[in-house]
């Protein structure tokens, strides 16, 4: 799967990639109408239907794997077994459990998030089609399954999870699911020999029912302000237009909403923070960086529900603006953005299928600049990334986990100094093809643990615990 990209390709990408005004015609006909989103959803369902028919989603076929060192670019978990030999660099495998071993009848992994207890224990909430599994990562890097919270309505592969203090906030694309709020301290006394299936009627701290039809694509949390945000809560023709729906979490047992922001329509994902950065006009304001299909849209949500849109900016290569994260939450000068469809739709600078990370200067919130990019040497579609310290941890579908050192960006925002310092490919099925441009493999990762263990949730197999060598 590791394919060498040329300096020429990188230079071409840098030359083409830049911020630009939103194309109003395309926005009105393809994005605001949901045409592009529906096309992506259709392509994903086609892939997943094909995977189900081939038996790839039967996670019982994937054996438990123990510690495996990355040696000469490979982690050979089972000798002579190509499907359990993982390409890698500077990242070792510590443990793998299938979705079945993590309590799921349906598998189909999605989002994940972590929580560290006051005593330093490290816990996970793991998205699956039939709910959220809970596990602890032991000091040895082993996954210890503790139980699960079933889906609230019907199964759905889309299950997004974010942490809020000692709670997990769980949303789903399933109609009638609403947003579950679960207290992770319930896990502290569980004996792993007797995993617990929690009850939606008795064990939830709270349930937010203020969605148009009970579904949301994602949930966003700002612990600094005790606010959550539902995004992508379709239908698009609702009064909130699938934009930001404000959720007051100050009392998790009684989440309420004062309204929403529909000004830029559908928001696919976002990050909301109290602003501290070079743009003095907004210091102390609550800012949401919205990843809105064809734009980076920046909101001032300080005055809810009378929030404002500060800017909408598109870029060369925009196919489906998916997700991103600021480099430094304490000084918001730069952010990273990933586009989920540029590789699939063969749009420059990702037309060759080597996934791209876009670098943005947000020192002026009203006029963000796309200053450069990092071109990967892996052939796949990018999906989610989160910044922890000087590294961004990326889940890139078929090519798995990539860890980029982004410490150089403030001094060189072109991306020329960005480097990949770690990689672990969780989808060896496509190695012979050099990687596939498809919606298979890893969905999410969580790297916020002090131990350095990183959890990677995969669609087909289950959960991997890996660790970057420092």
Is 1 part of any domain?
no
Dig out the tokens for 168 from the structure: 């997990």
Q: What is the pLDDT of residue 17?
A: 55
Domain limits for position 380: 7-468
d(CA 404, CA 415): 11
d(CA 449, CA 455): 9
Does the pLDDT at position 9 exceed 60? Answer: no
Does the pLDDT at position 249 exceed 60? Answer: yes
* Cβ-based neighbour number of residue 255 at 10 Å: 21
pLDDT digits (tens, 9 = 90+) for 23-75: 999 999 999 999 999 999 999 999 999 999 999 999 999 999 999 999 999 99
Is 315 part of any domain?
yes
Cis peptide before 30 (omega within 30 of 0): no
Is 82 part of any domain?
yes
Is 397 part of any domain?
yes
Is 45 part of any domain?
yes
**In this structure, what DSSP letter does residue 5 have?**
P
Q: CATH number of the domain that 137 lies in?
A: 2.130.10.10
Is 2 part of any domain?
no
Does the pLDDT at position 15 exceed 70? Answer: no
C-alpha count within 13 angstroms, C-beta hemisphere, residue 144? 16
Q: State the DSSP string of 200-213.
A: TTTS-SEEE--SSS
Residue range 73-92: average pLDDT? 98
Return mean pLDDT, the chain.
95
Does the pLDDT at position 271 exceed 90? Answer: yes
pLDDT digits (tens, 9 = 90+) for 104-115: 999 999 999 999
Q: What is the pLDDT of residue 426?
A: 98
* Number of domain units in the chain: 1
Q: What is the pLDDT of residue 204?
A: 98
Q: What are the φ/ψ torsions at residue 393 (nearest 5 degrees)?
A: -105, 115
Dig out the tokens for 295 from the structure: 């734009």
Q: What is the pLDDT of residue 382?
A: 96
Residue range 82-96: average pLDDT? 98
Is 334 part of any domain?
yes
Residue range 172-181: average pLDDT? 98
Q: Which residue has the higher pLDDT, 170 or 5?
A: 170
d(CA 243, CA 395): 25
Does the pLDDT at position 259 exceed 70? Answer: yes
Q: pLDDT tier at 116 (50, 70, 90 boundaries)? A: very high
Q: What is the pLDDT of residue 229?
A: 98
What is the share, in percent, of the chain residues with pLDDT greater than 90? Answer: 96
Q: What is the pLDDT of residue 470?
A: 83
C-alpha count within 13 angstroms, C-beta hemisphere, residue 270? 34
Q: Which of 291, 290, 352, 343 is nearest to 319 (CA)?
A: 343
| Residue pair 327/410 in contact by the 8 Å Cβ criterion | yes
Q: pLDDT tier at 12 (50, 70, 90 boundaries)? A: very low
Residue range 286-315: average pLDDT? 98
Q: pLDDT tier at 10 (50, 70, 90 boundaries)? A: very low
Q: pLDDT tier at 2 (50, 70, 90 boundaries)? A: very low
């Amino acid at each position: 799967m590791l394919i060498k990209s040329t300096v020429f390709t990188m230079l071409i990408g840098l030359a083409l990639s830049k911020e630009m005004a939103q194309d109003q015609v395309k926005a009105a006909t393809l994005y605001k109408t949901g045409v592009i989103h529906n096309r992506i959803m259709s392509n994903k369902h086609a892939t997943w239907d094909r995977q189900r028919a081939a038996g790839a989603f039967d996670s019982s076929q994937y054996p438990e794997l123990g510690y495996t060192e990355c040696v000469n670019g490979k982690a050979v978990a089972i000798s002579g077994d190509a499907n359990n030999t993982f390409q890698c660099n500077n990242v070792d495998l510590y443990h793998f459990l299938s979705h079945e071993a993590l309590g799921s009848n349906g598998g189909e992994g999605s989002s994940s998030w972590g929580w560290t207890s006051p005593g330093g224990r490290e816990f996970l909430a793991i998205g699956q089609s039939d709910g959220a599994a809970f596990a602890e990562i032991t000091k040895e890097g082993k996954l210890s399954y503790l139980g699960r919270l079933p889906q609230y309505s019907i199964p759905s592969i889309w299950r997004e999870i974010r942490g809020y203090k000692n709670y997990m906030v769980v949303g789903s694309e399933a109609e009638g699911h609403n947003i579950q709020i679960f207290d992770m301290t319930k896990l502290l006394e569980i004996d792993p020999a007797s995993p617990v299936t929690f009850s939606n009627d008795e064990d939830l701290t709270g349930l937010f029912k203020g969605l148009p039809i009970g579904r949301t694509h994602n949930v966003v949390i700002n612990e600094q302000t005790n606010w959550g945000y539902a995004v992508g809560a379709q239908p698009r023709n609702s009064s909130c237009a699938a934009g930001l729906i404000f959720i007051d979490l100050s009392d998790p047992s009684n989440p309420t909403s004062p309204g929403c922001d529909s000004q830029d329509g559908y928001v696919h994902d976002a990050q909301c923070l109290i602003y501290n950065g070079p743009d003095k006009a907004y210091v102390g304001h609550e800012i949401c960086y919205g990843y809105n299909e064809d734009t980076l849209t920046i909101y001032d949500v300080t005055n809810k529900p009378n929030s404002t849109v500060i800017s909408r900016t598109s870029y060369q290569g925009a196919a489906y603006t998916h997700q991103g994260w600021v480099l430094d939450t304490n000084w918001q000068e730069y952010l990273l953005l990933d586009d989920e469809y540029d590789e699939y739709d063969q749009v420059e600078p990702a037309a060759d299928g080597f996934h791209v990370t876009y670098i943005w200067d947000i020192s002026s919130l009203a006029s963000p600049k796309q200053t450069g990019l990092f071109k990967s040497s892996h052939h796949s579609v990018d999906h989610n990334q989160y910044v922890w310290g000087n590294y961004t941890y990326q889940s890139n579908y078929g090519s798995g986990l990539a860890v980029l050192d982004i410490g150089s960006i403030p001094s060189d925002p072109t991306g020329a100094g960005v480097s990949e310092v770690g990689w672990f490919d969780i989808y060896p099925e496509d190695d012979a093809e050099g990687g596939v441009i498809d919606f298979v493999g890893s969905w999410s990762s969580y790297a916020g643990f002090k131990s350095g263990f990183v959890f990677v949730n995969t669609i087909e197999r289950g959960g991997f615990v890996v660790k970057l060598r420092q």
